[in-house]
Every structure is written in structure tokens, then in C-alpha cells.
């Protein structure tokens, strides 16, 4: 099964001011990402407020992205939900419209407490799109599924034919590397934290990742991998540290989903507000965030 090389973006879902989905901006959005070095999108996930969308909106977004992206630009559709039947339907739809792959995080309710529960959940979803690679999205801070991903790989191995790997959005680089080395690197381990691209590369074997700050800082983040591959460790360190500077700013404004989405407006792509229950930024907060970004010369580094 093909392993992803390069960075995949986790796009925000564009909304109009009334919080209805803005499908019209997606071709322009896709062009921005491709122009700045991204290799695909992982839609309807956490950055995309997927759990705030209904099933019809999620499928229409998938159709819009598949239609909008350039050739060889991967579209992976997050289909996880609290209803596994709904997830399977969205998986079937993703395969039917020509998406490249599918993925699912553990549901926020009920909390998944055992590896076997997680395997069964993934198994029911993945069979809806047997011809597409399936990725498990490990983000326990969102759903409380603090399970061993190494044990998960052992349990899922040979059981889900189209299981491709894990989007690993967690702090344990030790576990990440254990999973990467499992069965001589059998599965695709995509690093999911923009803060730790360089250490994942340094441990050897990390080929791809899925990021959220790549929406507006993709030139910097793809540059880390380019510098590493060229043997320029100092440049890679410089870019990784700069990526952290940007992340430090958004952490002052409720993180990537809220603060990061407002940055898109500041670089000329107004993607609208966040849906409830996210607390949207005020104009005053936007002005303060802009000042903090100017202080690190962000607007000369960001996606263009």
C-alpha cells in the first residue's frame, strides 16, 4: 500500500457569516495549499469542525474537494462519527466520488476504553470503502481514547485489509517510533503535530504528516522536510523553531481551530466563523493576534 510522502493539510471548513457552509471558496483554497507545497487534504476532521457538520454537509464537502483539487493531490475524508452506520455511509460515499483515502478518529462518546473496541469500530467503517486506504486518527486529547497504539497495530494487523496506518497526534515520540518500527515499518505513521516534524524525521523513516498550521504556515513546515532531506540540519532547526513561534501565538487565541482559522482571514482567505460551541474571536482579539504575528514577521513567511 502506498505510503504518503510530504505534508497533507487538515483544512478548515469555510462558513458564511450565518455559519452555512461556503463551498464556493474551496477551489481557491485548494489552489493556495497546492501552491505552497502541500500534497493533499484530510477533510472534515478536527480542524474542519467535522463533528459540527451534518452528514449531508460532510458529503457535499467531500465532493467539492475532490472536484477542486489538482491532479495527484490526495483527498482523505474523515468519516468518524458517534454513529458507526453514518461513518460507513460516508466511507461508501468517499469511495464512490473518487477520494484517495478515508480516516476516522475514535468517537467522543461513548469513550473507547479497550483496544478491541477500537478495532471493531474501525473495522465496521473501513469495510465501507474496501478499495481505499483507511487511517486511524489518534488524537486522544479530543476523545479520551488514551490507548496503546502499538497494541492497536498488533490487534488490527491482518484484520482490516485496507488498514494503512495512523495519523499520530500525540506527544509520545517513543510510542510513535515504536509504531513506525512495527513489523519493519509495515504501516504508514503520519506525524500529526506540527511542533514535532523534525524529531520524527530524525528518528528515521517518517515520510509524511498531516498538519493544521499548514493552512497558513505550509511554506515553513514543508521547508523543514526539504531542509532535512538536503542535509541542512541548521535550516531545519530554524524552520521548526519558527513553526513553534507561530504555534505559540495561536495558543494565546484558543488554538488552531479558532485562532488559526482567523489567521486565514488575515492572509486574504476569509473562511468565516466557527460553529457552536467554539467561542469565536472578537475583533479586538484579532487585532492583538495580528500584532503578535507581525512581531515574528509572520506575513513575510506565511502561505501566499
Which stretches within 51-209 are classed as H helix? 55-68, 84-97, 115-126, 140-143, 149-156, 173-181, 197-202
pTM for the model: 0.97
Spatial separation of the C-alpha atoms in residues 213 and 205, rounded to whole Å: 22
Spatial separation of the C-alpha atoms in residues 173 and 197, rounded to whole Å: 11
State residue 207's pLDDT score. Answer: 87
Looking at domain 6-234, its CATH superfamily turns out to be Aldolase class I (3.20.20.70)
Residue of 78, 84, 286, 89 whose CA lies nearest to 192: 78
The answer to whether residues 126 and 162 touch, using CB atoms and an 8 Å cutoff, is yes
Q: Which residues of the chain have pLDDT under 50?
A: none
State residue 72's pLDDT score. Answer: 94
Spatial separation of the C-alpha atoms in residues 104 and 91, rounded to whole Å: 10
What residue ranges do the domains of the chain occupy?
A: 6-234
Spatial separation of the C-alpha atoms in residues 141 and 94, rounded to whole Å: 26
The answer to whether residues 62 and 75 touch, using CB atoms and an 8 Å cutoff, is yes
State residue 195's pLDDT score. Answer: 95
State residue 113's pLDDT score. Answer: 95
Question: Catalytic amino acids?
Answer: 137, 167
Give residue 50's Cα distance to chain centre. Answer: 11
User: Which residues lie closer than 8 Å to 40 by C-beta, 6 or more apart?
Assistant: 4, 8, 9, 69, 73, 74, 75, 76, 100
State residue 297's pLDDT score. Answer: 98
Amino acid at each position: 500500500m502506498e505510503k504518503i510522502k510530504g505534508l497533507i493539510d487538515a483544512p478548515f471548513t469555510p462558513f458564511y457569516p450565518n455559519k452555512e457552509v461556503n463551498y464556493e471558496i474551496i477551489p481557491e483554497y485548494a489552489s493556495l495549499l497546492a501552491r505552497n507545497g502541500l500534497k493533499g487534504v484530510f477533510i472534515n476532521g478536527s480542524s474542519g469542525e467535522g463533528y459540527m457538520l451534518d452528514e449531508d454537509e460532510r458529503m457535499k464537502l467531500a465532493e467539492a474537494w475532490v472536484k477542486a483539487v489538482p491532479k495527484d493531490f490526495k483527498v482523505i475524508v474523515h468519516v468518524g462519527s458517534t454513529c458507526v452506520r453514518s461513518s460507513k455511509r460516508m466511507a461508501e460515499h468517499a469511495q464512490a466520488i473518487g477520494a484517495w483515502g478515508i480516516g476516522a478518529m475514535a468517537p467522543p462518546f461513548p469513550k473507547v476504553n479497550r483496544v478491541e473496541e477500537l478495532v471493531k469500530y474501525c473495522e465496521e467503517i473501513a469495510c465501507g470503502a474496501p478499495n481505499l486506504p483507511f487511517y486511524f486518527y489518534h488524537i486522544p486529547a479530543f476523545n479520551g481514547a488514551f490507548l496503546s497504539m502499538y497494541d492497536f497495530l498488533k490487534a488490527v494487523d491482518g484484520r482490516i485489509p485496507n488498514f494503512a496506518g495512523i495519523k499520530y497526534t500525540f506527544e509520545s515520540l517513543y510510542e510513535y517510533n515504536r509504531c513506525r518500527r512495527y513489523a519493519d515499518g509495515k504501516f504508514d505513521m503520519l506525524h500529526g503535530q506540527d511542533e514535532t516534524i523534525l524529531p520524527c524525521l530524525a528518528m528515521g523513516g517518517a515520510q509524511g504528516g498531516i498538519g493544521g498550521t499548514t493552512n497558513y504556515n505550509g511554506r515553513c513546515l514543508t521547508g523543514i522536510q526539504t531542509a532535512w532531506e538536503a542535509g541542512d540540519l541548521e535550516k531545519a532547526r530554524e524552520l521548526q523553531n519558527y513553526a513553534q513561534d507561530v504555534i505559540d501565538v495561536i495558543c494565546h487565541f484558543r488554538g488552531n481551530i479558532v485562532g488559526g482559522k482567523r489567521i486565514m482571514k488575515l492572509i486574504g482567505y476569509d473562511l468565516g466563523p466557527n460553529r457552536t460551541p467554539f467561542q469565536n474571536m472578537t475583533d479586538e482579539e484579532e487585532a492583538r493576534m495580528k500584532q503578535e504575528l507581525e512581531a515574528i514577521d509572520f506575513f513575510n513567511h506565511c502561505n501566499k
